[in-house]
Structure 1
Amino acid sequence: MNKIGENNFGAPVNASERKLLSIARQLGPIARSEVTAHSELSQQSVHRLIDNLQSKGFLRFRPATIKGRGKPSPLVEINQDTFVSLGLSFTTEKVLACLLDLKGAPLIQCELDVHPNNPTAVLDVLEAKIADWTAAELKNRQMIGVGIAMQGYRTGAADQFETPTLLENWQNLELIPLFQDRFELPVFTENNATSSATAEFYLGGAAEHSCFVYLSFNYGYGAGLYWQNKPVQGGHGNAGEIGSIYRPEDTIHRPALGELLKRMQMQGHAIAHISELPNYFSDDLPVISDWVQEVGPYLRQSLAALKGVMDPTAIFFGGEAPSGLRRALINEANADDRIVHGPDPMLIESRIQGDAAHVGAAFLPLHQLIFRN
């Protein structure tokens, strides 16, 4: 992998090239002669663009499959050996990193050995980690960009967030220049819920849903919205801040895992972190079943709001909630009839286990620079 500051990624690929790269990602390996039918471009343009992308290292050819008469057409696929994209996500407890190849396959996923509420230390540890990767697993790859998933809501600029108290040292920092100046790479920012929705779009079960919602059960409670294969940002960049629908006195009853943690600690369970929930989860544990019933009406309220405004075909339950808790919340959501008219969205447990925000963050540069946006 190129050293920091030696990235020669240059200008992004153009719109037509992005279209072909998206086709190759979704359908590849695909015969070059068949790409034209999916591209709305002339065959001559397709061949020229594919050759250009192959020379840049974005695509590669595989031997042709002989079908009938005539010269066989070579197969085209994404080159997974040349580029990587880096994603970081911040929870109230840890910083997770993910490196994806150009096709979106995770190459490395790890937790950084640093306190998440220390920006200077995060930058230093990440720089050292990149140096380690450069010398080892990713020696011959080039980094495209950095995606950052932060908990909280935007306060104006796209890269400034009002974070939870446990991440207060990141509040209103301009994340793009902070990371861009250090690593000399394109930087993209998003909240955790929308980043997780991006991971669901590329790797999860959302491929057949052009309009879906991802519910992120973390220390707080948020939603990532997707419409026509794009995240919905809203006018201020805070679309999906579903926790804002509750009255202040009701926020303790929203389905936020920080509230569940407090309930468990009050009842004497020696649990200190949300990441420990998988070790404690049981359908028979009264404190968990009681909490699920407590938040049920408020969960259904948020689902009704999302249905009434977004009208999604699917709502995915994910975030840091363990699998059993996701299923329990889905069952609770279905316990009472919903009052909004029209077809209901499917309520689906996310296929991606654990918090997917770091994976989605790594997709941000790919989504913004490489594939059809």
Structure 2
Amino acid sequence: MASIRASMPELIEEARRRLDGIIKPTPLIRSTTIDRILDAQVFIKPENLQKTGSFKIRGAYNRIATLTQEQKSRGVVAASAGNHGQALAYAATRAGVSATIVMPTSAAIAKIDATRSYGQSVVLEGVDYQEARAAASKMCADRGATFIDAYDDAEVIAGQGTAGLEIAGEITPDVVIVPVGGGGLIAGITAALATRAPNAEVIGVEAAGSPQLSASLAADAPASIGRPVDTIADGLATGRIGAMPFEVIRGRVKRAVTVDDFEIGEAVLLMLERLKLLAEGAGAAALAGALKLKDELKGKTVVLVVSGGNIDINLLDRIIGHGLVKVGRLFRVAVDLRDRPGELGKLISAIAATGANVRAIDHDRTRRDVAIGGARVMLELETRGPAHIDTIREQLKGLGYVFEVPALG
């Protein structure tokens, strides 16, 4: 296993040559807003603009290109929550190789449809990535096909490492922040920077619902989290770190930043509003991590890797909603009224007087916890921030309204 660490720089250079003219190099982009928020020189690596919508095409295409003719004739199988599957389907179709992508039944519909659109077979098995992976491994054994792992594969890691070469080709960063699921991307970038920008600190960002990087760093060995994953960032929801990626990052990546779904949602919203970039949950994780590390990043040259942008529209709506609540741009409040003509109008007028906009309203007079002759009104308000929400609360209290703020669900 130790040999993979020594051979990775050469493998990455070989991958770069294979990928020339295949992938789209993603130049670093700037945002004065992000610079101001973090008080740092921030560069965004927008892999969400890559072919198939994520960095995964780098590793998938490189792995397909290294297959023997016999392996190509037998076909390939992979497990994926979405991005690896799309990338492998694209690469296999381009190379004339038959591929089957096993995806968990919980995979985003948009990712399932996109994977099928590249002309390969999609099979839904298991409730999460690890169960899909087990089904894919069995399928390989039955068919004699080649299993192409999403992250625990030397050539896949090498392909991902070409993103690191591109970073080092443009700037010499102080810090590079990378989202981490199975570890292929952070391993490749770390290996590339080890020779091109050896003083750069690489920091991994994991989802709170799938904290395999921190578990692995604590154990100094690739670790599984030992419980079901639970995060909106499906690209990070592997539940374990790959053995090969961990060997590459061992001693080089020394810390993990853990972000929850609310923090991821805030980052998705910030990228949409300020950078005009659409990132999936995993793709926004690096920015979410940087926001937590703000004090440490001050004055530094920082690269944030936006790993992908393939997001289900329904999930996007939920993420935006959670993100808006997180930053005080959306306020949900339940108000009890007497069920009489004009009472609802008075409430709306009171809200309007604060400058808030009613985004949604539900008027329920049949709830068992509401008195006969009363009604519960659920309001969803567009607000300007926490101070504006405080103003709304004071307005309602001052007018004698009985209200509560429901827990976000």
| TM-score higher than 0.5 | no
Higher helix proportion (structure 1 or 2): 2
TM-score (norm 1): 0.28
Give 1 or 2 for the bigger CA radius of gyration.
Answer: 2
